Structure 1
Amino acid sequence: MLSQKPHLSEIEIYDVLANERRWETLRVLTTTSGRITVAELATAIAEVETATRPVPKSTRDSVYASLHQTHLPKLDELGIIKYHIDSREIELRDGAKQVDRYMDVVTKYGVTWGEYYQLLGISGQMLVIFSLIGLPLVGAIDPILWASLVLGVFAISVGYQLWTSRWRLLQLFG
């Protein structure tokens, strides 16, 4: 269990993410700094699965057992997490970075939506700055117009992203 794989294949990554508890484990760990106990993780996952708070003890115990016996050892073996069995604590390892990209929605152009929005934000900011300093061509257009244009593209992009992933949203909120 101490070995860490230097590189995960896409098949291994898809296998990891195919299971909702492993996927949710990684989501919880990426939003938590440092270590988390198996009990805390089991409670968080059981809350998502049942959409109730507090979670029924039997559900939390079932999630805890499957994490401890199956999912956490697998993630540890692949080098994605470090599972400290003696203290029942978990933390992310460098292997999680390989999986992280697959947890984001990738567009048909091979870029994640996060990367797209970062590029759009930086480009918009640069257009406004160039307009303010009077760079030829760009400076001829008011910075507020550039900012409005970029915000409009953001709004259209968000609408498109929500529309194309509506089936996921319906499952989540339906």
Structure 2
Amino acid sequence: MSQTAAEVSGDGANSSSEPPSETTVFEILSNDRRRFVFHYLKQRDRRVYLRELAEHVAAWENEKPVDQLSSAEAKRVKTALHQHHLPKMDAQGFVEYDRQRETVALADAVSDLEVYLDVVPGGDVPWSLYYLGLSGLGLLALACVSFDLGPAAGVPDIACALFLVVAFLVSAGVHTYLNHAQLRLGSTADPPEVGER
């Protein structure tokens, strides 16, 4: 799986303290397990028990339903969350983790944070390369139309320009839909990258 963080923004409307820096957000969310924690807590929007959180994270990691997890799979994730990931997220102001009660919730500073992933399945290309390629083809088409080369000879300049504008408009529309409807952490049942490995 290849992915890049595409956009991170927080409006901080309901936060009682400053949201973490972009560098901190990228550091915390660079790990799949912590990203799954953030996704689950964004979905629930409440304090959850560590066991519940660990079961869902383990299910996503193993790409199977919670009721099909072995106790070893769930315990391994619970231990790692308890000993490493949640304390780190708590220290960075990302979550509020109560080690004694084993409960966790998103910190106020990140409750409104929106994180978008550019998830790139194996045979696909990232959007940035897609737009770069589309721009290159557009320049080539404009040059062919301008100099009456090849099959573009006789095609009006305005027809070529209109075609390129529509191609970019459709591409941007699809990209926007995917970002806001499917690639935002916490907005879907499963994290965006589950099933793309």
TM-score in terms of structure 1 length: 0.58
Larger helix fraction of residues:
1
Q: Which has the higher contact order (CA 8 A, sep 6+)?
A: 2
The aligned amino acid for 2:59 is E
Alpha-carbon displacement from aligned partner over 1:7-40 (angstroms, at most 9, x marks no partner): 4222211110100111110000000031111100
**Number of the residue aligned with 2:104:** 90
8 Å Cα contact 1:21-1:45 kept in structure 2:
yes
Q: Is the 8 A contact 2:97 2:104 kept in 1?
A: yes
Conservation of the 8 A alpha-carbon contact between 1:81 and 1:93: yes
Q: Give distance in 2, aligned partners of 1:74 and 1:5.
A: 18
What SS does the aligned partner of 1:31 have? helix
Asked if structure 2 preserves the Cα contact closer than 8 Å seen for 1:78 and 1:95, the reply is no
Structure 1: distance between partners of 2:108 and 2:58: 26
1:91 CA drift (Å): 0.9
The one-letter code sitting in structure 1 at the alignment partner of 2:84 is: T
CA distance in 2, matches of 1:31, 1:19: 18
Identity of aligned residues (%): 23
Alignment correspondent of 1:141: none
Residue 157 in 1 paired to residue 173 in 2?
yes
Aligned AA for 2:83?
Q
Aligned to 1:38: 50
Query: In the aligned structure 2, how far is the partner of 1:19 from the partner of 1:170?
Result: 12
Structure-1 separation of matches of 2:176 and 2:40: 27
Higher strand share: 2
Q: Residue 92 of structure 2 corresponds to which residue in structure 1?
A: 78
Q: Which residue of the partner structure matches residue 139 of structure 1?
A: none
Unaligned runs of 5+ in 1: 109-152
AA of the residue aligned to 2:93: G
How high is the TM-score relative to the length of structure 2? 0.51
* Partner residue, 2:33: 21
Q: Which residue of 1 is the match for residue 195 of structure 2?
A: 172
**Amino acid across the alignment from 1:33:** D
CA separation of 1:159/1:82 partners in 2, compared to 1, >3 Å: closer, same or farther? Answer: closer
1: CA distance, partners of 2:31 / 2:97:
18
For 1:170 and 1:30, the matched residues in 2 are separated by 16
Distance in 2 between residues matched to 1:92 and 1:22, nearest whole Å: 12
Query: In 2, distance between residues paired with 1:170 and 1:24?
Result: 10
Q: How many residues align?
A: 120
